[in-house]
Each structure stands twice: as structure tokens, then as C-alpha cells.
Amino acid sequence: MSVRAQAKISDGLLKRVDRPVVIAFACIVALLLVGSLYSRSFLSPEYLLQQLKVASFLGVIATGTMIVILLGQIDLSVPWVVAVGGMMSTAATGWGPAGEALAIPFGIACGVALGLVNGFGVAYLRIPSMIITLAVNAVAQGLMVVHTGGFSPQDSSSPAMRTLATGDLVFGLPNALIVWAVVGAGTIFLLNRTTFGRAVYGIGNRERAAYLSGIDTQRIVLIAFAIAGGLSAFGGVLLAGYASKAAQAMGDAYLLPAIASVVLGGASILGGRGSYFGTIAGVILITLLQSILSVVQMPEAGRQIIYGVVIIAMLLLYGRESRTR
Amino acid sequence: MCGLALVTGMEPRAPLILHMEGVSKRYGGVRALENADLAISTGRIHAILGENGAGKSTLIKILSGVVRPDTGRIVLDGAEVAFDSPAAANRAGIVCIFQELSLVPDLSVADNIAISNPPRRFGLIDRRVQRRIAEDALARAGASDIHPMALVKDLALSRRQMVEIAKALAREPRILILDEATSALTAADVTKVFVVLKRLRDEGLALIYISHRMHEIAELADECTVFRNGSNVASYVAGTKSDDEVVEMMIGRELSHVFPAKPPPPETAATPLIEVKHLNWADRLRDISFHAHAGEVVGLGGLDGQGQRELLLALFGVLRGVTGEIRVSGAPVAPSSPNAAKSAAIGMALIPEDRKTEGLMLPMSLRDNLSFAALERISRRGVIDHARETELVGDMIDLLAIRASGTDIPAGALSGGNQQKVVIAKWLMAEPRIILLNDPTRGIDVATKQEIYQLLRRLADSGAAIIFYTTDYSELIGCCDRALVLYDGAIKRVLVGEDITERALISSALNIADDADDASSRARLQ
Amino acid sequence: MNDWRYVFSQNRATLLAFVFFVVMFAIYSTNHPAGFSANVVQTAANKGVLLALVAMAQTFVVITAGIDLSVGAMFVLTNCLASWIVVGTAWTAALGVAGVLLTGLACGAVNGLIVIVGRLQPIVATIATGAVFFGLALVLRPTPGGDVYGPLADALTGRVFSVLPASLVALAAVVVIIWIPYRRSVIGRAAYAVGSSEQAAFMSGVPVDLAKFCAYVLSGLAASMAGLFLTFVTYSGEASAANGGTYTLYSIAAVVLGGVSLYGGSGSAIGAIFGALMFRTIGDLLFVFNLDPLWQPLFQGLVLLAAICVGAARLFQVRNRLELFE
């Protein structure tokens, strides 16, 4: 059979499923079964739906983190860009009817702006992403401290934000989940079916070769960080909607779980490899883990330890670098 | 000279220090070495010639302890030995200078020279002794101008290669192997290194020298061995075989039918497809001016490191601070990045130097790699049309006869020749008008090379201008309509058609005036 | 004469960090309401030394082209441990100190084993071990509390010859006893080689795995010294997640400000120390200029941003853009 004919058979939109994705989903199932030993309600639809709703917030944030990791970079500005999203959208709500209507886009736009700073530093100034995103994180924190005067933010979220985060308009499915589904679908499309996505994978694999192939690598990196910033901020908007207001350091608890979700989903931290389905699995896995630990009333100490051990154990299963010699 | 004395056969055979017999090595299904043997004497420079894939590298890796042979014996000083690591080979006195530099960029020259076994005092590195060792080694290598405290990354490539040689000498070898170790040296350095190597030979060292370059072998070697398909095809005293005979032994067939026929030269009245005037960059490109018409294959010749690679990079927009004029079809252009050079207005393509790190994304699929430079052609407003992609990918695979079991396999799983075809195919999909190639047939098997030569001629015939840099003289002679020989960043000579001979190429490469061809080439210059 | 040129150019980054720090501190102390008094210097030193030690810990790993995101957690863990065992008599306190330092070594060893034997990328491996270390800290100190051996704490946070802060003397001692011998040792140079080019290091017979392992172990040791010192300063142990996270991220900032390359292979812990002191002084400068403390975090962030952008100015000298990639 000619190469061409074989190509027609084996190529398709749905590529072969990766081993890590399968393992991650298997772990989710295993976790649920283990949890069900403790209480039957772990397998109830209400609980599962609740978990998916909570996972949606992390999911939106992790999406941005994943795109940056695919490039071979890292975004450490997540904590305070999330906070910016939450605080700026709630602030806008308090600026009259126009502000309330535009609260959500405004919050996201602030995140995009910060993401552009990250992207510019990485793409055009060639500053290692670890340090520039750290600095942007510090600046974002500084801005928010000034904005809130050091106190807890008092602004409340707009009704739109609240509906988006807490309502359930369609068939009783949580809106937040639908939001994540839409973001996810868009990301899958972006990564698999657009030239942008192809370029992202290429740059993550070998930026030098991508550059020499005539790809405008700088623009792609800039846009990717801008998207990540926007998604982090959007996560903050949703969180603020969920709690009806923003809070200091509201994003701190999301940075490491976001990175962990992406990596547990099989993406390589060095870039160039990973599918969004893996990130979905990773997000659900982390959320479930955190939830089960809290339901069995495991003290925070135990939770942290188990969290760390689980990540290491799973990475040892499929995240190991190959032997170089 | 030494060689002459051996030719007359009056000098007694020098003592044998090493010989290998019946050595074989397979990698999977590929026979890298098949019953190979080799005899090395002290006080001799022994050159090993052969095509890429002939087994030279494997032989050297076995000798220097990097890999172990499947069968065969290595006899050193009359006793059989087996090395399980480079350190073991070093202890036995066999030191190899590989092509990929083994220097650590952020450490100093002295640190690098003494890196394997640094002198110690109270458990810490004795820097004073280390520095002395470094200075001695650098002096032995003829590179006393290099300061031992300089950081390797601050040195030019040619200096680094001298440090590499000094590092090898510091290990007090009895057998020194140089595997294409002079590829990055300037002409002046090459001369110096040759002096050093000959002095070492006179002191009793045994040297094994691997190179493609006939003129270097002619100048340096006392004895030669030709490898082909993993075995020793012939061993002879240097100077006793003609170049044609040697090439025939290397490739196993006559030279004449290797290259496709060349068309008659185009009308000079037509506007050149690409025209370059007074191109300058740093101090690596000096006042370069040339042109290429559609349908022409222009070759860049000369010794390595004279600016050929930089010229291609400059044209492709990779270098910053390039001055001069570039015109495509008469219109001035100034590509500031490969992205700009690739655009429809200019239409350039560059097949880069290192296919593994610059031409391909090895973990990505064959299909993804093939369409990577032509994403605009397979997409509409940013969205990829998979059907169109499959179609074009299939076309390219057929056009270049790429051998793969499917389009989803990673590019890293393909053979070297096929990988290079993928790189070329990737660019052909972008429909370029000006194709730049940076040493495209390096490390490629002979059969694929043939296919590439045919392809280049076909592309030229269909209206492209091809500019390619090669280290292989036969390619310049066989493929090119015109050859530009570079020396120290400037075009020393332009050879056209019949005038492209090995003699002319070599003499202009070495910046030696060649009276016989001088007058006629001066008439043809630009 | 020629030699000095090389010494100078190779340690340029460290020297720059030193100069910047001195300038900033001079501005700070001359404008301080209390003037350049021993008290002022002592307080500043105690705070600065904490970050300096954590920055040193990070430096060991960054030189090998790795990263240690668990330094903050190790810092907090050893702080909590010290608040339990560095108590009682001089003898038990001494044993306690040894115990704390050994714990640091052990934590570092765990990191090293996971990265080298497990072949996991340092960034994710240390995120996970950081969580484990922090969990252990919480086990030790669910709520802040504890105590520490008074005389030792006072001695190290006080002054020597009634002028020089003891913490600085101790820091200098650590540099002289640990860092300088390390740098000049075979294993220290191996670490630089590995960070600069692991492939070239391997081909040259450098002990790659051992060098990396030692780097992680030493990182744990330095972090434990920082945790110990924190106990001396606060007389208690607290499993503060905020503190742990902040110190980890600030250690990276300090390392970069100190001229250590995140890509590995170059830089010095001495530079990182000055980077840390510089970073600390930024906040203090605001206080001194009567700037609203509200603006401190923003100022700190902007200065960090500016500093790293200035470092990128080097970029414009690049003639061949391919050098920017890999």
C-alpha cells in the first residue's frame, strides 16, 4: 500500500489517544471507586456535577497555563492575574450601568494586557519566562494592593458574573461547566485545527527549526501569553462571580494545581507535546483529589503530603525523561 | 618529503602500534562495519577516507571506547585490548577529537583542558598547576595566543577547535585520532595545525586523520585507507593513487554518471532572479556581489568557514546588521527574518545546515513537518484544511520518493537521507523561487544524493534559482552552472561551466593564484 | 595585568550586583531617620540574611540548569522543626541544630533522587516535594508556636563587637566554609559544567549525576540554615504557606538579580546574596522615603521588572539571530 493510501486511513481529526490521558482518566475512576468505599454519595450525579463545576474554574485557568507550557514556557503570573480579573471586574461593576455590562470583558482585558507584557518580555526581549512572569505577578500584586488600599475588596460582582459562575440554565448543567466546555472546545480547535496551534507545537518542539521555517515565532509567543493572561483573568472573573466578590490572594491556590493538571495530563513541561484531553483529565483528577481529601476531613497537612506524593507517583508512571545515553 | 621516500619503497616499514582485524558492528539491521581491519604505525599520519556511512565514524568510536564491537580484535602494542569507555581508551593512550566539540562553554580554557583529571591540592582543584598544564598544551598545539583564563564561549569557533586539540594533547596520547577536526578552522589555522601534526608525527606519535578533503589528505597523509560499505577497500601509501581512482574506490563506481546533464547557460540579457551587490556583515562577509538567473544552479565553494554559511543566512534574513543591496527580479528587498524571506514577494527557501535541530521537529509527525513551511497554502484564514493538507503532503511524498510507513510516524524515525528529503519537501511545498541550500548532502547515503542532484536540476529547469553551499568538490563540478569560491568572506573567483575544475576550485580555495585559468576567469568575473 | 581583565569580566554580574546593593543601601541608611546606626544595620541584616540563605540554596540548583521550587517549603519545614528541637540545654540545642541541618540535607537528597533517578523534570518534581515538605511542616506546627534556645538565638541575631551584625558574620562564614570550597572543588566545577552543557560534560567524563545530586543536597542544607535562622529571629515556628511561597519566588528573583543565569553554568552564590539583599532593601527604601507602604509591593515589582529588562539589553548586540534560540 502506498504511503498516500495509508495516510488516508491513519490520519483523522481524532488522533490516537495518548497513554498518559488514559492513565489519568483511569485514576479518576479509581479515585471515585476508592471514595465510594467511604460513602456511596461519591458516585452520585449531584456530587459529580458539583465537582465538575468546581473543576471548571481550575479548568479555565489551566487552559491558559497549558498553552504556555506547550510553547516550552511557564506562566508564574497566574496568582495575581487571576486576582486582577476578579478585582477589576467587580470594580467595573461598581462604575455604573455601562461598567456593569462590560465587567466581564473588562476583567478579561486586564488579564490580556498583563499577558501581553509577559509575551513581549519572552518573545522580544528573550527574558526567561520564569522570571518575567514572576515580575509581572509582583507588579500585578502591587497594583491590586494599591487599588484595594490593602483591605479586602468590597465591590461585588455583577449579576452576569454570578449567573455565569453559579447558575444552571441548560438542562440543569452548571453554567460554569458550560463555560469551561466552550473554552475547551475553542482551545481544542485552536490547537488542532489552526495554523496558530500547529505553530505552537512546532515552537515548543524546536523553536530554532520553527523560526527557520519562516514562522513568526515572536508573534505566536506574544499571542499565546496574551491568551493565557486572558484565561487566567477569566478564571478570576468566574471565581468572583461564584463568591459574589473578589478576595485578596484569591489566585494563590491556583498556580500549582494548574501546572500540576497540565503535567498530569501528559503534557511535557519542556513543551511541544500534550493534548487538551489530558489537561481535562488532570484538572478533574486534581479537583477530585482535593475534594475527597476534604470530605474525609483529612487535615491540611495530610492533604499537602498526599497531593505531592500522588503527583510524583503519577509522573514516575509516564512523565519520565528518556535515558539520554 | 616523507611521502616521497615511502613511494620509492626504500624506507623500512615503521613499527606497528595498533591493528584491528575482523571488526564488525551492526546497529539493528544496518551493518556499520563488516570485517574491517586497519594497521596503524607510529610516526605516521594515516588518513581514512570514505563516504558518509562507509563505517569511518563507527571504526573511530570503537577505537576510542565509545562503542564496543560485535566481533574482531584490537591489538595494541602486541596485546589484545578492549575498551568499555572513552576513559579506558584514554588511559591506554588513545585520544580522539570528535566533530562535535566536547568543550563546556561557560568554563575557562584551562578548566576545559584539565576537565577530566584536574590536578588537586587538599581536595580542591589546584588552579596554578592547572594553568601550567593548559599553557603547555596550548603551546604544543601551536595556539599560545589563547589565554587560559578566557571563557570558551567567548572564543571564535576556530579558536575553540584549537582548544579541543590542546585538550587532546594534554592527555599525552600515543595515538591521536582527528575526526573532521579541522572543519571550522581558518586557512591560516589549518596550516598551523598541520605543522603541529607533522611535528607530533616526527616525535613518534601515531595519527589517524579522517577528512573528506583530498587536498588536506594529499598534504598531510603518509598512508591512506579507503572504507566503503563497512570494510577496508584499500590501503596504500599516500600519493600512489590518483584522485579519480580514490573517488572510484570510495563510491564503487565511475564518476561520470553521477550527475544529471547541465543545460546551456541562459541569456545574459534577462534580469537575474536574484542580485546581490556589496553585501557586508560584521567582518565575515566582505563586499559580496553576485547574481543568479532563474534556471541556474550556483554553487558556493571554498574551504569551510569562509563565509558561505553566513552568506546564505544573510540572504535569508537571519543576520542583523547586513549592509548592501539585494534585488529579487529587479526589485530591492531587505528580508529581516525568515518569515519575510519566505513571503510571496521574495520567495526564498533555506535548507539549513543541521536537519535535526534546524530543519525538522523530530518528535512531530512526518505530515506536520512537511506542511510546516507552507501553512498558508493549506489553510484559509488560519484554519487548516486537512483534506488539502493530506493532498499536498501526498504530492510531496511522491515527488521526492520519501520512504516512510505512514504520515503519522515521527520524523525522528526516518533515515538521514529521508529526513533531508523531508526538509527539502517542506520547502518545496511553499513554492519558492530562490532555493538556498546549506551543505544539503552531508551525511546522506549515495543513492539519496543522486535523487537530490536530479531534483535540483529539475527545480532549476522549472524556473527556480538555486544557490547551494557544499563541501564536496564533485558536487560543485557536477551540479553547478557557476561556482563562486569564497575566501575570508569575499568572492575570490567565479568559475563558469567548463572552468569549474577541481584544480581551479582548490587553488582559489587556498587563495593560490592559478595562472592557467586566471586570464579566462578574470574575463568572466561578474 | 591581563589576568585581572578575565577575572573582572567573568565575575561582572556578581560585581554589578554588589555595586547596586551598596548604592541602594547607602541611599537607605543615609535617609533613614535613625541614620546609619548599628541598630538599623542589624535589623536590615537579620531580614536580609534570611532571603540571602534561601537565595544561596536556589543558586546551587540553578547552576546545574535546574530549579528548586521547594526551597521555601524546606525553609518553613526546618523552621518548624527547629522550634521543637533546638531547645533546652546547650547540648540538646546543639544536637537540635545538627538535627535541623541533617533534615535539610535529607530533603535535598530526596529532591536529588527524584530528579536524577526518577528522571523527572526539576520544576514539577520540586513542586510536588514542596507540597510534601510543607505538609510535614504543618504536622509539626499546625498552629504557630514553639521556642528556641535563647542564648544562641540572641547571639546570632545580635551584634559582634557591638557594631557588626552577627548574622552577617555568620553568613560570611557560611560563604567561606561552604560556597568557596565548593566552587573550587571538582564537584563544584562539575556542577557548572553540567549546567553549561550536559552533553559536553558527559563526553568529558564529568560526573554528571553526582554533581546534580550534590547541588540538591547543598540546596537543602542552605535552606535549613535559613529556617534555623528564622527560628532565631522569631523565637517560634510557623507553617505559613504564604511565607514558603514568597521565599521560593523571591529566591528566584534574588538569583536573577545577582547575575546567576537561569539557564545554568554561570553565576555565583555571592552574587545571589547581594541580589537578595538588594531585593530586601527595595522595600526598606520606600519606608525611608516616606512612601505610602501601600505602594511598596508595586514598587518592588516594578524595580524587579526594570532590572530584568535591563539585563536583556545585551540582546541588542546579537548579530546572528540564531544565537537567540537554544
> Over the stretch A285-317, which tens digit does the pLDDT of each residue have?
999 988 888 888 888 899 889 989 988 998 888
| Residue A38 located in a structural domain | no
Which residues in chain B touch residue A195, judged by CB atoms under 8 angstroms apart? 375-376, 379, 382-384
Going by pLDDT thresholds of 50, 70 and 90, the confidence category of residue B266 is low
Give the range among A110-119, A136-145, B500-509 with minimum mean pLDDT.
Answer: B500-509
**B379 and chain A: CB distance < 8 Å anywhere?**
yes
- CA distance to partner chain A, nearest, from residue B462 (Å): 23
The nearest CA of chain A is from the CA of B403 a distance in Å of 8
Contact B64, B84 (CB under 8 A): no
Whether C184 sits inside 8 A of B124 (CB atoms) is yes
Residue A264 in domain: yes
Mean pLDDT of chain B: 84
- List CB contacts (< 8 A) between B318 and chain A: 212
The closest CB to that of A209, out of B318, B357, B397, belongs to: B357
- Please tell me the distance from the alpha carbon of residue A28 to that of residue A43, in angstroms, as a whole number: 12
Mean pLDDT for the stretch of residues B79-98: 84
Contacts of C62 (CB under 8 A, 6+ apart): C68, C195, C255, C260, C261, C262, C264, C267
Would you place residue B302 in the very low, low, confident or very high pLDDT band (cuts 50, 70, 90)? Answer: confident
CB contact under 8 A, C195 and B106: yes
Residues of B in contact with C319 (CB under 8 A): 281-282, 319-321
CA quadruple B197, B202, B207, B212: dihedral, nearest 10: 50
Distance in Å, alpha carbon of B377 to nearest chain C alpha carbon: 26
Helices H / strands E in chain A, number of each: 15, 0
Angle value at C-alpha C112, between C108 and C117, nearest 5 degrees: 155
**Domain locations along chain C:** 2-325
| Minimal-distance CA residue of chain B relative to C317 | B320
Question: In this predicted complex, what is the ipTM?
Answer: 0.87
- A209: chain B residues, CB-CB within 8 Å: 352, 357-361
Q: Given pLDDT bands bounded at 50, 70 and 90, which one contains residue B6? A: very low
Any idea of the CA torsion for A136, A139, A140, A141, to the nearest 10 degrees?
120
Residue B5 has a pLDDT of: 30
CB contact under 8 A, C204 and B115: yes
Q: Give the pLDDT confidence score for residue C11 in this predicted structure.
A: 85
Determine whether B9 is exposed, middle or buried from the number of CB atoms within 10 Å of its CB (0-12, 13-18, 19+). Answer: exposed
Using CA of residue A163, residue A164, residue A170, residue A176, what is the dihedral sign? negative
The answer to whether B363 contacts A205, with C-beta atoms less than 8 Å apart, is yes
Q: What is the mean pLDDT of residues A96-112?
A: 92
Q: Which residues of B touch C181 (CB under 8 A)?
A: 124
pLDDT at C1: 55
**pLDDT at B13 exceeding the cut of 70:** no
pLDDT in tens, B368-416: 999 999 999 999 999 999 999 999 999 999 999 898 888 888 998 888 8
| Closest listed residue to residue C255, CA positions, set C64, C111, C56, C74 | C56
Measured distance CA(A272)–CA(A72) in Å, rounded: 7
- Predicted TM-score (pTM) of the model is 0.86
> Which strands sit side by side in the sheet containing B434-438, from one edge to the other?
B348-351, B434-438, B465-469, B297-301, B482-487, B490-496
Residues listed for chain B: 526
- Do residues C315 and A126 make contact, with C-beta atoms less than 8 angstroms apart? yes
C-alpha span between B193 and B158 (Å, rounded): 11
Q: Give pLDDT tens digits for B102-141.
A: 899 999 999 999 998 888 888 899 999 999 999 999 998 8
Q: Residues 179..208 of B with a Cβ closer than 8 Å to A: which?
A: none
**Residue B150 reports pLDDT greater than 50:** yes
Report which secondary-structure segment, H or E, holds B324: strand B323-328
Nearest CA in chain B to C205: B116
| Cβ within 8 Å, pair C200-B87 | no
Chain C (3-62) residues lying within 8 Å, Cβ to Cβ, of chain A: none
Q: Does A150 touch chain C (CB under 8 A)?
A: yes
CATH of the domain at A91: 1.10.3470
Neighbouring C-beta atoms of residue A149, cutoff 10 Å: 11
What is the per-residue pLDDT for C170?
93
Per DSSP, the three-state class of B116 is: coil
- Show the cell assigned to B53: 556511512
Q: Do A146 and C295 touch (CB under 8 A)?
A: yes
Q: Which of C189, C195, C199 sits opposite B111 (nearest CB)?
A: C189
Q: What letter does residue C320 receive in the DSSP assignment?
A: B
Q: What is the pLDDT of residues A30-61, one digit of tens each?
A: 888 888 887 888 888 888 888 999 999 999 99
Amino acid identity at C2: N
**Is A220 contained in some domain?**
yes
Report the pLDDT value the prediction gives residue A325, as an integer from 0 to 100. Answer: 38
Residue of A241, A280, A278, A266 lying closest to A55 (CA atoms) = A280
Give the integer Cα–Cα distance in Å for C219 and C60: 6
- Chain A segment 31-50 residues within 8 A of C by beta carbon are none
Total of domains in chain A = 1
Res. B441: pLDDT tops 90: no
* Tens-place pLDDT, residues B156-188: 877 888 898 899 989 888 999 998 777 667 677
pLDDT at A4: 55
Q: What confidence score (pLDDT) does residue A13 get?
A: 33
* pLDDT value of residue A323: 57
* Cell, residue C93: 540545642
Determine the structural domain holding residue A75 and report its residue range.
44-318
| B376 has a chain A CB within 8 A of its CB | yes
Q: Closest approach of chain A CAs to the CA of B368, in angstroms?
A: 8
Average pLDDT, chain C: 89
Distances C61 to B24, C109, C126, C128 between C-alpha atoms, Å: 43, 12, 11, 16
- Rounded distance between C-alpha atoms, residue B477 and residue C156, angstroms: 79
Q: Residue B18's beta-bridge partner residues?
A: B40, B76
pLDDT for A2 beyond 70: no
Q: What are the tens digits of pLDDT across the range C64-91? A: 999 999 999 999 999 999 999 998 888 9
* More confidently predicted of C61 and B50: C61
At residue C155, the pLDDT reads 86
Assigned CATH for C2-325: 1.10.3470
Phi, psi of C148 (to 5 degrees): -150, 160
Nearest to A7 among B316, B407, B426 (CB): B407
Query: B258 pLDDT exceeds 70?
Result: no
> How does B306-328 read in b/e, with b if 16+ C-beta sit within 10 Å?
bbbbbbbbbbbbbbbebebebbb
Q: Nearest-CA distance from C315 to chain A in Å?
A: 7
Asked whether B426 and A213 are in contact (CB, 8 A), the reply is yes
**Distance between C244 CA and the closest CA of chain A, angstroms:** 12
CA distance C125 to chain A (A): 7
Query: Is the minimum CB–CB distance between B362 and chain A shorter than 8 Å?
Result: yes
Of A3, A198, A212, nearest to B350 by CB-CB distance is A212
For C83, counting Cβ atoms within 10 Å of its Cβ (0-12 exposed, 13-18 middle, 19+ buried), the class is buried
Hey, what amino acid is at B268?
Answer: T
A134-156 pLDDT per residue, tens? 999 999 999 999 999 878 888 88
